[in-house]
Amino acid sequence: MNKPFKTLDDLGDIRGKKALVRVDLNVPMVDGAVSDDTRIRAALPTIQELTDRGAIVLLLSHFGRPTGGKNPQMSLSLITSALERVLGRGVMFIPECAGEGAAAGVAMLAPGDVAVLENTRFEPGEETNDPTLIASMAAIGDFYVNDAFSAAHRAHASTAGLARALPAYAGRAMERELDALDAALGNPERPVAAVVGGAKVSSKLDVLRHLVVKVDHLIIGGGMANTFLAARGVDVGQSLCEHDLTGTAELILDAADRANCTVHLPYDVVVATAFAANPASLRTVNVHEVAADEMILDIGPAATEALADVLKTCRTLVWNGPLGAFETPPFDTATVALARTAAALTREGSLVSVAGGGDTVSALNHASVEPDFTFVSTAGGAFLEWMEGKQLPGVAALRS
Ligand code: ADP
Ligand code: MG
């Protein structure tokens, strides 16, 4: 398949060539040790393939948010041993990411070796995408590979600048993510459904505006559904609701109408007078029967079943945001049920399902469906900006 960006398949003989590989090693730490190595494992296929092919692999990444230069607590030397464990081989640490100091370290490496360079954000030019820094990084490598989709929404030297200074390729994780996102919203099989949930409309206005012109069915759940219900004249009682945004919600509904996008709001909901696990006041009611002292904490079983029927007619699903306050039982019920429907349809081959977002990933894990979805993005901010239809600088730089 012809892709709008180059991949590792487009590299010729790279034996002895120096690959500057942007990965995301910004892993969480507890007591000085890596507490979740998911991101390191994500980089493994690209690193392995490049070393197998005899390249010298130079890993670039940011780590934390250092302000004002070097900070030993945010040195990538702290993750070298975790990297060695995941890769099952030795990794050299080079205490610079650019310039002569870095070049001296690189000169000690042999074909097939791996080194991790110091935190790119120790360089003031990283976040300003400074041409001098880009040139001094580019000088230590022969080509550039970007495997960090999660950092692609930043126009930084190591995420975007380098791609224009050296021959640039998408790594395997980046390639997989871009393919999945393209199948979900770029060039999807129709009909397409989007599930948008979560707490607030205000955090996802741009997502909603973009989706109404992209998808055939927009399913709105979570706290943000309350604002839409209020816009339609429903009394949502004590529910989380942004009353000042009901006008905006109406505009989004109008835009959906014009674009032939069917918006699905719940018609039954699960309510309680107190937000607690399995509260005594729990009720399932029609949206028009929410009492003044109640709050909506999940969508109801009839709505969930209707949404499952919608998904059965669709070929593509993109999902961001849980349908209810899923961290507290039983308000996880609708999210878990709809996620399982999507997982089953994906397994049967009738649905391409792509999801992302911090809490969404937790909710899908909680429903044990993550492995059945076509693709679950852990990219956070970059995923959301993609859902908003924004050009990600790191991706754009690979395409040109
Ligand atoms: P993501 O991180 O996947 O983008 P969000 O951060 O937008 O998702 O939203 C997730 C949060 O929304 C969860 O903490 C969940 O408890 C909350 N939420 C969902 N439905 C409701 C509701 N009806 N009332 C209050 N909070 C809700
Ligand atoms: Mg969140």
Catalytic residue among 18, 22, 39, 121: 39
Residue 252 has pLDDT above 80, yes or no: yes
Residue 293 has pLDDT above 80, yes or no: yes
Instruction: Give the model's confidence band at 284: pLDDT under 50 very low, under 70 low, under 90 confident, else very high.
Output: very high
Question: For residues 219 and 195, is the Cβ–Cβ distance under 8 A?
Answer: yes
**198 catalytic per annotation:** no
**315 catalytic per annotation:** no
Catalytic residue among 64, 99, 237, 358: 358
Q: How far is CA 359 from CA 151, 199, 260, 319, 325, in A?
A: 19, 10, 29, 11, 10
Ligand 1, atom 15, lies closest to the CA of: 325
Token pair of 312, please?
Answer: 């059965």
Global confidence as pTM: 0.94
The rounded distance, in Å, linking the Cα atoms of 165 and 174 is 19
Instruction: Give the model's confidence band at 1: pLDDT under 50 very low, under 70 low, under 90 confident, else very high.
Output: low
* Segment 352-380, tens digit of pLDDT: 999 999 999 999 999 999 999 999 999 98
**141 catalytic per annotation:** no
Query: Does ligand 1 lie within 6 Å of residue 171's CB atom?
Result: no
Residue 68 has pLDDT above 90, yes or no: no
Query: Does ligand 1 lie within 6 Å of residue 266's CB atom?
Result: no
* Segment 166-196, tens digit of pLDDT: 999 999 999 999 999 999 999 999 999 999 9
Cα–ligand 1 centroid distance for 298 (angstroms): 10
Catalytic residue among 200, 209, 315, 347: 200
**89 catalytic per annotation:** no
The rounded distance, in Å, linking the Cα atoms of 23 and 398 is 15
Atom of ligand 1 nearest to the CA of 356: 3
Atom of ligand 1 nearest to the CA of 357: 3
The rounded distance, in Å, linking the Cα atoms of 244 and 301 is 29
